[in-house]
Amino acid sequence: MFRAAVGHSEDVVSIDAASEMISQCESAMPGEVPAAGILFCSRDHEHEQMLNIILSSFPGIKLIGCNSDGEMSSALGFTEDAATFIAFYPGDVEISVGIGRGLKKDTAAASRAAAEQAMAGMKKKPALCVALSDSFNLSGVSVIEGLKSALGKNFPVFGGFASQAGTYAHTNQFFGCEASHDSIVVMLFSEPIEFSYGLTSGWQPVGQKMQVTKSAGNVVYEIGGAPAIEFYDKYFGVRNDLFGGEFPVMIYESEYSDPYIRAVATFDRTAGTITYGGDIPEGAIIQLAEATRDGIIGGATESLADAVESFKGNRPVALLAFSCGARKNLLGTRTREEYETLKKTLPDVAICGFYTFGEIGMIACMRKSCGAPCESETKFHHSTIVTLLMGEK
């Protein structure tokens, strides 16, 4: 039987924090050793020290993780500058892990290598992937494309991009006893894993839909045949402070696809261009979006409701949550309410997650009657909460 346990510590001493999390997992599953685990941890800890303590306490555990700028779990709720750990006791489910290095040099190749390494370590057919990636100076879309090239276009991948407070040039990703940067780590789960998911933002579309008429990667040159900057000036004038996570755009790649969100990274008023935090395809339809704090919390409620409604297993035992750091920034003192929404719905499930610099999750065709293939596909997201519910068939 697939099971999970969670540890969570706010202790500032890394040895003590790791020991506390291990003790919590051991109390939940006495006498058992987990086969795999994921660690989300603030940048202030001694990461390799923590990893080594976990590995020595749970021999043979397959361990991945990353930096976090905010954590959440069923053990302590919402925290900052802390560490949380979820341990998996998989039963008949096989779990394998992989790492890809050199993301900035060749993002797609590194992501593909991580997935291929994990696949090579499996005897059973993989059914689900959790991916955690560095987030600085690289294309999140290329990360996803690399994973798809190894796993398949419609293979389910969920996860987030590592985050941390402050202005640093990289984040750390954890693989076994190693804390590295410029890398991506993945964990594959085989059948008979059962999972479901929800993916919602809480942002609402506002204003006119427009077509991106010229773009290259994450730089948009023209919207509706005019310089991209004019799309924003129409609503905000020249107020530079309104650019960013507060007013992202919804992206509609086709008439029938669910939208996903892109946040503004920078802009060039002289050139008239907008640079986003992820690629925007030329020809896509975009629309400005806005959110209230109630709307953001409502998005978490909707995300989890979708996951619970579509879960087909005996019962869910674990929930991984990946919520955008922009949500935390806008929620401010109400951030705890996002976690409390999850806990209230699933009081007996092991919950573990972190606030990301970008999310990974699947979206699908909106209408079954569109005449096009209605297959879900993994995308790179901003301002979104992804909830991944796990159990066994």
Gap between the Cα atoms of 319 and 388, Å rounded:
6
Residues β-bridged to residue 227: 222
Q: Which of 360, 357, 291 is nearest to 320 (CA)?
A: 360
Mean pLDDT computed over 131-156: 94
In the chain, % of residues over pLDDT 90: 80
368 band by pLDDT with thresholds 50, 70 and 90: very low
Q: Which of 192, 41, 47, 66 is nearest to 131 (CA)?
A: 66
What pTM was computed for the model? 0.94
193 band by pLDDT with thresholds 50, 70 and 90: very high
- The per-residue pLDDT for 243 is 54
Q: Is the pLDDT of residue 240 over 60?
A: no
Domains of the chain, first to last: 3-200+295-392 (no CATH), 204-289 (2.40.30)
